[in-house]
Amino acid sequence: SRSASIATRSRRQPALVGSSITLRHAIALLVPPRCTVCAAPCTATEVVCARCEAGLRACRPTRLAVPGLDLTLAAAPYEGVARELVRGLKFDARIALARRAARAIAEALEPSLGEIPRPFDGPRSPCAVVPVPAAPSRLLRRGFDPAEAIASALAAELGLPLRPCLCRSDGPRQV
């Protein structure tokens, strides 16, 4: 019967949906995947290569003193692989790096999570992830806000609310 031949055919030829063959792997056959930081070869499931991942894991967070804030950390010094990750996200629009940056920040926060006031979830939480918005001209030029992309991924990673409550004028560059 027609339905039996369809069922038999589908057993021999796995569908892309719901099988171990993913679109990412199929594309990797045509275009070999590259590290989004250094462009070295990597697997289809990696955003960064093993060398860059090791470089990111070797970075040590630094506590920063910012008046009015209880806890401020830099996940890594702005140098080496960390700098290239930020550059790739900001200037090459490699959006997948936002999730990796968020994971680095979450890992840096891990030892300090005990210092965050409880409860830190829910709509009345005293804790939130707040992105510092890009200047309007940079947002227009890039078409996205790297800080908001990282903050969104970080909020999801930590289970905290995202509160984009800051405004920015189009002033002179900070860096």
pLDDT at residue number 83: 93
As a whole-number percent, the residues of the chain with pLDDT over 70 amount to 70
Check pLDDT > 60 for residue 40: yes
Residue 12 in this model has a pLDDT that exceeds 50: no
Task: Tell me the per-residue pLDDT of 57-89, one tens digit each, with 9 for 90 and over.
Answer: 898 888 888 888 777 778 888 899 999 999 999
pLDDT exceeds 90 at position 152: yes
Amino acid 10: pLDDT: 37
Question: Could you give the CA distance from residue 89 to residue 53 in angstroms, rounded to a whole number?
Answer: 16
Residues in the chain: 175
Burial string for 12-30 (b: 16+ CB within 10 Å, else e) reads eeeeeeeeeeeeeeeeeee
What angle do helix axes 96-109 and 80-92 make, rounded to 10 degrees? 140
pTM of the model: 0.71
Q: State the average pLDDT over residues 151-172.
A: 84
Q: How confident is the model at residue 31 (pLDDT cuts 50, 70, 90)?
A: low
- pLDDT above 60: residue 163: yes
- 114: which DSSP letter? G
What pLDDT does 71 receive? 72
Position 115 pLDDT exceeds 80: no
Residue 34 has pLDDT above 70, yes or no: yes
pLDDT surpasses 60 at 8: no
